Structures are given as C-alpha cells and as structure tokens.
Structure 1
Amino acid sequence: MTFGEQMLFFFSAIGVFNGLLLGIYLLFVRKLKYIPDFFLGLILLTLSIRVGISVGMYFYPDWARIIPSLGMSALFFTGPALYYYIRSSFQQEEFDLKQCRTSFGVLTLFLGTVGLVYLFFPVTWDRYFGTFIYTVWSIFVLLSVYQYYVFSKQRARNPNQVILPVLISNVIIFLSYQLISTGWIQIYCAGGSLVFSFVLYANFLILFSKKNSQNSVKETPKYTNKKIAGEIADNFVLKLEQLMNSEELYKNPNLKLSDLAAKMNMSTHQLSQLLNDNLGKSFATCINEYRIDEACEKIEKGSFLKIEEIGYEVGFNSKSTFFSTFKKIKNTTPLLYRQAQSPSEARLQSSEL
C-alpha cells in the first residue's frame, strides 16, 4: 500500500470500528430500554458491516465472492431500520413493536428468498442483486423522510432533537453511495466508507454539543421550582378534567398538546410542565387514560360494539394501539375485561372473532 492508501484505510477502518462498537452497545447492552436506540444501533451495525466489507474488498479484492453479498444483505435492513427509528421516536408509547417485528420477519424472509434465487442463477447476481438492495433502500429512505415530515407537522415539538441529524446523516450516506454507484465518483468503496466515517464523527460532535447545551440549560434554573404551585396546579387540573368530561377532546385521535393547551388558555410549556412535573405523566399517557376509562365504562355498561369498535369510538386510530394501551394501563386485555364483567360476553366476543 502507498502512504495515501494506508491513510485511507486507517480513517475508513476506524470509522467502521467505532460504528460497530456503538451499534453493538445500542443493540445488545441497552436492548429495549429505549426502542429508538435499538433501531439506531441496527442502522449503525448494518452500515458498519457494509462499509467494513467494502473497505476490505477495495484493498483485498481476492476475498470470496459471497462476502460482498453479505455486506449488501446487511445494507438491505438499513432503510427499514431508519424508517422504524423515525416512527418509534415520534410515537414512543404508541409505537406498535409487535407489528414492527412482523414487518422485519417478512423482510428477512423476502431477502432470503431473493438471495437463494440469485445463488441458483449466479449470472444475474452482480447485475440485479445490487439493484434490488438499492431499490429497497431508496424506498425506505423516501418513506422515512415523508414520515418525519408528517410527524413533525402533527407534533408541537420533536420528542428527540437527535432525530433530524440521524435522518440527514442517513440521507447523505444514501446519496453518496447512489452517486458513487453511478460511476461519477470512481473510488466506490473507499469513497462511501470515508463519507460514513465523516458523518459518524459529525454526529458525535452534534450529540456532544446538544448534551452540553442541555446540561447548561438545566443548571440555570437552580432557584426555581419545577412544579407549578399547588393551588394553581389544582385549578389547572380541575379545568382539564372539566374540559375532558364536557367536550371529550380525547376522542379526537389527532389531538395534540398545542390543541389542548389552546383550549385551556395556557402555553404548551405550562401544560407540559403540569402533566410531567405535577401529575407525573406524559401527554400521551394522560389522554390515553381518559380513552381507556371510557372504554371500560362502555364495556361495563354492556355495549354491543365490537372490541375494536370501542377503541375507535374513544379516540384510538388503530386496533393494535388500543389493545396494547389497554393492557399497559389495566394490566389485562379488553376481551378479558369484557369477560370479567359478564361471562355471557365471552360467547358474544367469540362470535365476533
């Protein structure tokens, strides 16, 4: 290797190494403590595997033919991981993990089937397998950008300020690989790996600066009480309950923090402070508790609506979200709750299913 090639290999390899370490940490150490971190770890791991194999193939082109295909297979999951990272970051408690597992299972089966087809027809491997992987990646990157646009318009503020840098970083890496693959940039493997390393360290700097700024903000209000004063908070809580009972705002599946704050004639910051610091719950949890309470009331009164229809009636926009939220709040399923009210309901529910 020349000195320039050695430096190229060093900077590429160190980026891959750090990406692998961080990806493994987020995937296997933190596990599911925070679901978006799991998908972020999957993004880092798949990109690191792809970039690492690319670097190896660039400097050692005599590697077995199956190795680059493994790198492409890892890249196949980068797009879906980004898509679900965006969704889980915004939806948080409402994120349907079971549906996500099913989707990844289908994608894995699909990749395995395509891989077997190409193995049986090796002539088409180099020509079509890469196109297939990049097409799937392109679709999911576009879906991720669209999801971010939709969720950012629906929510008063982003729940996690790291979402946008992660999205932009993935778009940059995606575009660089797409441009390099067209032949406009000749050094394919090394070029992509250098972009990955640069973006990785740029994100480290962004995360570090955000953490420092957050710490400095937290240190400034030393002499202020986070909670709203007792009597004022009680009045706000009473107003919240009256508003929910009279106008049933929770039945709106698209209700936002800013909408409720406007109804209560207070700022979104004040309402968030009231919910988080005084009541000890998030906005989503607060609204879902009202929805589940009404769902229980309907079940107790012997409603003849189907279980999922009750969920839609009280404000949930999907059956799966209703079921998972009900289980989390009541520690049982809607079906078991209905059966507990009247054994005869079991026969009714079985006929529904």
Structure 2
Amino acid sequence: MTFGQQMLFFFSAVGAFNGLLLGIYLLFVKKLKYLPDFFLGLLLLMLSTRVGIAVCIYFYPDLPRIIPHLGLSALFFTGPALYYYVKSSFQQEQFDWKKCQKWFGILIIILGAVGLLYLLFPVTWEHYFGTFIYTVWSVFVFLTVYQYYNFSKQNLKNPNQFVLPVLISNIIIFLTYQLISTGWVHIYCAGGSLVFSFVLYANFLILFNKKYQQLPVKETERYSNKKISGEQADSFSSRLERLMNTEELYKNPNLKLSDVASRMNISAHQLSQLLNDNLGKSFSTYINEYRINEVCEKIENGSYLKIEEIGYEVGFNSKSTFFSTFKKIKNTTPLLYKQSQTLTESRFQSSNL
C-alpha cells in the first residue's frame, strides 16, 4: 500500500469500527429501554458491517464471493432500520412493536429467498442481487423522508433531537452510494466508507455540542418547581398506564424511575411529580401495585406455579420483598389469599349443584 492508501484504509476502518461498537452498545447493552435507540443501533450495525466489508474488498479483492454478499445483505436492513427509527421516535408509546417484528420477519424471508437464488445462480443473479438491495434501500429512504414530512406537518412532538441529523446523514450516505454505483466515481468501496466515517463523526460533534446546551441552573430549578397541570397530568397518566399494560415494564426487577421516564419521553422529575402530587403514591408503590394485581390474577386463574415463583415472574427479586409487599397492599399473605380464593370457588361450585 502507498501512504495515501494506508491513510484511506485507516480512516475508513476506524469509522466502521467505531460505528460497529456504538451499534452493538445500543442493540445489546441498552436493549429495548428506548426503541429509537434499538433501531439506531441496528442501523449503525448494518452500515458498519457493510462499510467494513467494503473496505476489506477494496484493499483485498481476492476475498471469497460470500463476503460481498454478506455486505449487501447488511445494507438491505439499513432502510427499514432508518424508517422505524424515525417512526418510533415520533409515535413513542403508540409504536406497534409486534407489527414491526412481523415486517422484519417478512423482509428476512424475502432476503433469504433472493440470496438463495444468488448463491445457486451466481452468474445470472450477480447483477440482479445488487439491484434488488439498492432498490429496497431506495424505497425505504423515500418512505422515511415522506414519513418525517408527514409527522412534522402534523406538529407531532419529537423528543428525539437526533432524528433530523440521523436522517440527513443517511440521505448523504445513500446518495453517495447511489452515485458511486453508477460508475461515475471509481473508488466505490473507499468513497462510501469515507463518507460514512465523516457523517458518523459529524454526528458525534452534534451530540457533544447538544450535551452542553443545557438550561442554566436557576432556570432549571425554576422549571422543576412548576406544577403539572390537570390536563397534562391526565395525559401523562394515560401514557403511563398504556405503557404498563402493553409492555409490562413492571416485570423488570431492576426497573428504575428514570427508565420509565425515558420511555415516556419526560424527565424523571416530572414522572416523580406526577406520581407523588397527582397519583398520591411513590414510584415503588405504583409498580408494586401492578405486580401484586397480576399475582392475584394468576392465583385466581389457578396458576400451576408456586406462589414464590409467581412473585419472581411478575418482577420481585426476592421472596421476602414479595411477601411483605403483598401483605402491605392486600392486608393478607399470598397463601391466605390463595386459600380464600379456593374456598370461594368451592362454595360457588357447591351452590350450583
């Protein structure tokens, strides 16, 4: 390699490596605490995989044919990941996670079918496979832009301040790859890789800059003292209830107030204020009430699990905590509650004989 090629390889590879690490962190460390982060992690992971493979192919063209195939397969999911990143950022708790999983399953089947044809008939499908990948990517990029325009037009609140930078960055990467794929620019792999590295670090600078654009301390304290209005409290309460009922966050034994606040896209102080001032209970009491209610439902439905196993299943991390919490909320022990339910059921059956 010449010195210029070494520098080209270095900057491209470092960008891909950092993007890969950030994608893994968002996907497997933060997991599903905040859905937009999950899709952003998937997006970074797929793009970084594509860029990393592209760099290897550019400098080591004799790699097995399956390697570029895997790179294009990773690129296939960047469009859907971007689309759902924007959608989940705007829809927040209304986002349909099950429907999303269904569509990703369909896309995996489609990619598997087309990839199989490529592997079985490489000469015939070599050109068509790449065209298929770029077509799907193009469709999802246009859908994402259209979706962002609609959400913005509806004046929907977007608490995720990085949606627009991420969208613009992906459009730049998309246009670069599309332009290079026409053959007008001959450094295909390296060109796209350098653009990816550039926009990745540009977004890091935006993140770093935003971090320090906080309200002054006095203004923050003045804001924290504001009471939640009745209408806003009703809205927050409905969102919190939907989140608990649909996603069952209370089953997480390590659930923290900040985790729930993040999912609701409000500050931890606002959530604490809502619970204490408007609902009249602490965070732990609110969560434990959901857990105990589910315990009672399982007992009433004749669960085959032992009582302590039910406690662990609904989110308690110790038997003693479960029993003491149950007695505090229901004024009885789980065993006595189960016996009373069995006795009530027996009396009901006897009266029907």
Contact 1:32 1:38 in 2 (8 A): yes
What's the counterpart of residue 219 of structure 1?
Answer: 217
Spell out the pairing of 1:143-292 with structure 2 (5 A cutoff).
Answer: 143-214=143-214, 217=215, 219-221=217-219, 223-224=221-222, 226-228=224-226, 237=230, 279=274
Per the normalisation by structure 1, the TM-score is 0.65
SS in 2 for 1:213: coil
Name the CA shift for 1:14/1:33 in 2 (closer, same or farther; >3 Å). same
In 2, Cα distance between equivalents of 1:73 and 1:152: 31
Structure 2 portions without partners, runs of 5+: 235-265, 277-353
In 1, Cα distance between equivalents of 2:216 and 2:99: 37
In 2, Cα distance between equivalents of 1:7 and 1:240: 56
Q: CA deviation at 1:223?
A: 4.8
Name the CA shift for 1:166/1:223 in 2 (closer, same or farther; >3 Å). closer
Deviation by residue 1:174-231 (Cα, 9 ceiling, x = unmatched): 00000011112111000000000000000000111111103xx1534155252435xx
Name the CA shift for 1:227/1:277 in 2 (closer, same or farther; >3 Å). farther
SS in 2 for 1:15: helix
Paired letter, 2:119: L
Per the normalisation by structure 2, the TM-score is 0.65
How many matched pairs?
A: 244
Spell out the pairing of 1:1-353 with structure 2 (5 A cutoff).
Answer: 1-214=1-214, 217=215, 219-221=217-219, 223-224=221-222, 226-228=224-226, 237=230, 279=274
Q: CA deviation at 1:112?
A: 0.2
Q: CA deviation at 1:237?
A: 2.3
Deviation by residue 1:26-83 (Cα, 9 ceiling, x = unmatched): 0000000101000000000000010111100000000001100000000000000000
Name the CA shift for 1:239/1:55 in 2 (closer, same or farther; >3 Å). closer
Name the CA shift for 1:219/1:139 in 2 (closer, same or farther; >3 Å). same
Name the CA shift for 1:107/1:218 in 2 (closer, same or farther; >3 Å). farther
In 2, Cα distance between equivalents of 1:221 and 1:22: 33
In 2, Cα distance between equivalents of 1:153 and 1:38: 25
Contact 1:227 1:277 in 2 (8 A): no
SS in 1 for 2:224: coil
In 1, Cα distance between equivalents of 2:65 and 2:217: 56
Name the CA shift for 1:35/1:222 in 2 (closer, same or farther; >3 Å). closer
- Taking only aligned residues, the RMSD between alpha carbons, in angstroms, comes to 2.3
SS in 2 for 1:224: helix
Deviation by residue 1:245-272 (Cα, 9 ceiling, x = unmatched): xxxxxxxxxxxxxxxxxxxxxxxxxxx9
In 1, Cα distance between equivalents of 2:200 and 2:165: 11
Name the CA shift for 1:159/1:280 in 2 (closer, same or farther; >3 Å). farther
Structure 1 portions without partners, runs of 5+: 242-271, 282-353
Q: CA deviation at 1:155?
A: 2.8
Contact 1:141 1:171 in 2 (8 A): yes
In 2, Cα distance between equivalents of 1:141 and 1:109: 21
In 2, Cα distance between equivalents of 1:207 and 1:225: 23
In 2, Cα distance between equivalents of 1:190 and 1:239: 51
In 2, Cα distance between equivalents of 1:125 and 1:238: 59
SS in 2 for 1:279: helix
SS in 2 for 1:61: coil
Contact 1:226 1:277 in 2 (8 A): no
Q: Percent identity?
A: 68
Paired letter, 2:222: T
In 2, Cα distance between equivalents of 1:205 and 1:7: 22
